[in-house]
Structure 1
């Protein structure tokens, strides 16, 4: 089949064609919906500026919506010998409408076409990631409130340090995910810019209305400079993979805590049988495989921004074929982070927290700082109080049987600040503006 770029009587060696196309058709299936949406906006604009007759617009829109329906029904495919999703959709239009189908490419290049597909794709996937994070966040906040009185040893250098609580532990991860979402929102801002009209990267002599396609697709703004629109290829993916890697970093740390806390030497939590596996020779084993695999998969995701950075290093401005390979890093990563968030939700939901952990005398020294602070309140200078308690510990005279805690400041055991963490999350999610985007897309499809 002829390619969009192919001239008359031009042929390509089959081996070279296979190498250059690579796995693109596989990943392009995920872009099919967005290619149709971009085409709907583009031809609507072409009709407004007089590059497409009004009577030509209706059959093109109608047929594009037929293709969209087949995509959403899971029936769309990129046929063998077809180079990419753009070629497949234009082929279907031309097959149905003849030469009219060929008119949709006026005023755009595959460069800005794939760019808008990727921007729309990433924008939608960011919403899915954000929703998965929010679901986990909500559960962590519920768990934090439910277990605010269940004390837990706090560690520094893996040595017992000071009293903590499961309320603090769950709440810490909830707030950490809010901070990760703030990074995700930065990726969304970049994905929410319209590249259509940049063409191959240098604009067009056609009187294109770039603001119209921006509005139709619900973008926040266009990439103003057409060269910069092309510079965003790879950069937008890097922003998103950086946000994904940070969410993965939080998941990895949580998973590591679970592996430690579930072990017999710690014994802070208990995982149900559904989240563990046994040993082929040791009948007592209940291994936290889910948490271990979550940790491993999250650690793999943390490497992706560097891989993308290396892939796109030393490239001058303009389009380069290496950008095609960014899909192979980006698309599986999105699936894996959403899967990881869902598995973590299941893990947190079903773990059993053990209470009264600090009653054992091995945790007496956890309360040494409490004794120092008690002396300070009595008027003894802090450094002197520290020396007194330190001497008692050295001489085995420290009495850590007093387990009374009086932590009242914001973010401490006795004042978790969950309302403030919830408010931070609400502000972060309001900044995305998902509703505005979704309404624009719904109007475009319905028009």
Structure 2
């Protein structure tokens, strides 16, 4: 598809009327709420956008829109009965509730389609392949995605988890994913009905039915106006008085793999580094305890959850960003690091294995747990002895972000799809 974005701007008066399903949708948030919000915000620039989201999101959305009015963006809010909402507190209850929510918004969506003369229905969040919702049943063109969640637990990372229970959870998730692919009526129906299915990463595309074609598009993006590239020290030399500064940012949860990096640094003979860890979560206490047991507490700092400005300053002062996630569709923090011009060391799998290239960082093949630990240290040493390579990879990362992963670029790609569907529908 060729994107004639300027021509679309000229036709802005003939706006395509789009109904977006975004269960998770909140301004100034990361993860799925930020994904839902940013897609709606971007697409409202050239289209008339109607969003169905949770009533729970209403207060924060309306407060934002009062302070920052957005034209052509309309919201409908819905939540299930109180007793159903309480189910979210149960194990995996949020997905049970989500399925009920999707079923109950169908008649609401049907009325919006009729009243607002909707041209396209687009399901955005949740973006897991297991949860396409029910809006594919509506009598208008349907878009699903970008979807992800097709990553499977890799047994070589068994030692990367603090608890056997977390390993069992990952294995159970593998089983559930396979079961959904085999038996889910909604997945099969959505695959058959959707005019376009957008897929965010290679792992998810690999498991989806081969009976149709898919469009690759990252589920998230980056606002290039948020920050500039860090200032580089042209005379930087890594030595005992100036160790290489490593940065790790994210939720300290089992699947984020922080233990991999801690184990790697402990098993190495390399000591000329400092590591700042930003974030909080289930595994923080266990990680801090492990660092103390390894005797690394003078080199590794746990900073907890920090403000946006504080994290920004850390990106600018760091030399290298380390991303250890064992299972992720993409990784917003990787885009943040690239925006500041930081090279990225990561495992070569899932979405990040495509976001980071050999020109923007160092990717580690997941062959065995020992090899991964060893290769993380080798990558750190490579940057420590070659600061110019850090700069080259960092600047290339920012350029790659600007070319492929900005919200503006993502919106152009999606607008092309909207335009093509609208043209085909009008022609037919």
In the superposition, the TM-score normalised over structure 1's length comes to 0.25
Please state which structure has a larger fraction of its residues in helix: 1
Rg comparison, structure with higher value: 1
Higher RCO (C-alpha under 8 Å, 6+ residues apart): 1
Please state which structure has a larger fraction of its residues in strand: 2
In the superposition, the TM-score normalised over structure 2's length comes to 0.26
